[in-house]
């Protein structure tokens, strides 16, 4: 399943500036704004397209009142989690992408995340040659 938002399409081609629709909600932008009608829409965009921001939000949402998290993988209550892409990001972590939508992210405990990373290491992307098996990284 792909998490692409229609708002994102044509992002690079669409004209920017007053009178053009907000990338998120379609409301015409005004004043000195370029892409978003409001700070809220700008925040939404950052929080769903940049991994750093999205991961922070996902962690914040998963954090319980007592400061602990529940791992989505094994349901253990843990003090520390890492944010995992449900659909692989294929190294796009530092790029603006719809792969970072918060619906495509989840929190995993460190052992679960490690196991998943290991499993993924055996999947090869179409452009990557199979690498030698190794026991440590």
Q: Is 25 in the site for Zn ion (CB under 5 A)?
A: yes
Token digits of residue 90: 């294929």
73 counts as binding Zn ion under rule CB under 5 A = yes
Q: Does position 5 bind Zn ion by CB under 5 A?
A: yes
Q: Which of 33, 35, 41, 83 binds Zn ion (CB under 5 A)?
A: 41
Least distance (Å) between residue 45 CB and Zn ion: 8
Cα separation, 40 vs 20, whole angstroms: 17
Name residue 105's beta-bridge partners. 85
Task: Decide if residue 105 touches Zn ion (CB under 5 A).
Answer: no
Interatomic CA distance for residues 4 and 105, integer angstroms: 14
State both tokens at 128. Answer: 């990557």
Distance CA 27, CA 21 (A): 5
Q: Site for Zn ion (CB under 5 A): which residue of 70, 86, 92, 98?
A: 98
Taking CB under 5 A as the rule, does residue 71 contact Zn ion? yes
Strands 77-78 and 105-109, sheet pairing:
unpaired
Q: Which is nearer to Zn ion, 106 or 122 (CB)?
A: 106
- Contacts with Zn ion by CB under 5 A lie at 5, 8, 22, 24-25, 27, 37, 41, 71, 73-74, 98, 109, 112
């Amino acid at each position: 399943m792909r998490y692409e938002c229609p708002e994102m399409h044509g992002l690079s081609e669409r004209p920017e500036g007053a009178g053009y629709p907000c990338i998120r909600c379609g409301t015409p932008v005004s004043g000195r704004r370029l892409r978003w009608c409001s700070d809220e829409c700008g925040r939404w965009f950052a929080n769903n397209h940049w991994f750093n921001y999205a991961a922070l939000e996902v962690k914040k949402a998963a954090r319980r009142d007592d400061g602990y998290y529940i791992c989505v993988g094994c349901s253990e209550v843990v003090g520390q989690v890492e944010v995992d892409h449900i659909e692989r990001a294929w190294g796009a972590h530092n790029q603006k992408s719809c792969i970072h939508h918060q619906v495509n992210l989840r929190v995993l405990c460190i052992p679960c995340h490690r196991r998943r990373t290991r499993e993924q290491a055996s999947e090869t992307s179409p452009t990557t040659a199979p690498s030698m098996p190794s026991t440590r990284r």
